[in-house]
Amino acid sequence: MEALTPDDPSRIGPYRLLGRLGAGGMGRVFLARSEGGRTVAVKLVRPELAEEAEFRRRFAQEVAAARRVGGEWTAPVLDADTDAREPWVATGYVPGPSLHAVVAGRPQPLPERSVRILAHRLAQALTAIHTAGLIHRDLKPANVLVTIDGPRVIDFGIARALDAVTGDNRTRTGVVIGSPGYMSPEQVRGETLTPASDVFSLGSVLAFAATRRQPFGTSTSGLHAVMFRIAQEEADLTGLPDGLADLVRACLAKDPAERPTPAEVADLTAEANEGDDADLPWLPGAVLADLGRRSAELLEAETPASPLPARPQGP
């Protein structure tokens, strides 16, 4: 977490800001606390996006749908003001690092059992998201937060609002819809998306967790090259454990109709949560110890004793 700057608001709606958690194409994300003491993550939309009437309309629709998403493996949407001068949405705070940070910070990929449990729970999260009428559109390791008891999917559904700012608006705002290394072939081609697009992204996420490599290359090898491989070439699954190969390849089918549904993925990986090992931790001990340390540090964040000279977020 980073400290607030004078350019950041001190409050957003009823929430007192504690620090910055990050920033992306849609806006900034802050750690905040409600008047009742609940810790939340608040995403504040970029001003240039807020000026787009169609963006606002779609953002309001997606937030309303996201508030209906259930399931224990998602970060719940708790509050929002889509009519504010700078719209915002508040979600339950997950005191854990991203899957990307966990995997990139290890010399080895996650063990097969951990990846199977990850697959089972992410599939359950996608089922809940799709049941609410949403498509995530940007499932990637950075949008999966890792905790001691399991993963949590964040930022679901809201990416659809960015469809309203394609073309010239995308150039003006710098917005890129989706993350190239984890897009589906139909996303790369700009086609209409179905929930099967998220399943392809799930396959790429699982491949990364199990190999520490993106299956179609990284942006350092060229954005267009990565997108071409996604659309036309087979994934590089070197090092993927044999027990995961069939599942990941099925998710990465080029034809959306040939991919399993999230419910089918959950069924195929259900045994990872059953049997004699069901009560064992889902992650290696070293990872769990690191998660415990990170959680303690993040939860110790306190409201600044002396408010920063930051502007309040307007109505």
- Asked if residue 148 belongs to a domain, the reply is yes
pLDDT attached to residue 207: 98
pLDDT attached to residue 293: 83
Total domains in the chain come to: 1
- Asked if residue 299 belongs to a domain, the reply is no
For residue 315, give every residue at least 6 positions away whose Cβ sits within 8 Å of its Cβ, in sequence order, or none: 84, 85
Distance of CA 19 to the CA centre of its chain: 20
- Asked if residue 241 belongs to a domain, the reply is yes
pLDDT attached to residue 224: 87
Give residue-wise pLDDT tens across range 85-126: 999 999 999 988 999 999 999 999 999 999 999 999 999 999
- Asked if residue 203 belongs to a domain, the reply is yes
Q: Which residues are catalytic?
A: 138
Edge to edge, what strands does the sheet with 11-12 contain? 11-12, 15-23, 27-33, 39-45, 88-92, 77-81
- Asked if residue 124 belongs to a domain, the reply is yes
pLDDT attached to residue 302: 55
The parent domain of residue 15 ranges over 11-293
pLDDT attached to residue 175: 46
Q: What residue ranges of the chain have pLDDT lower than 50?
A: 167-176, 305-309
pTM comes to 0.88
90, 42 Cβ separation under 8 angstroms: yes
- Asked if residue 302 belongs to a domain, the reply is no
> Residue 154's domain is classified under what CATH number?
1.10.510.10
pLDDT attached to residue 174: 43
- Asked if residue 180 belongs to a domain, the reply is yes
- Asked if residue 61 belongs to a domain, the reply is yes
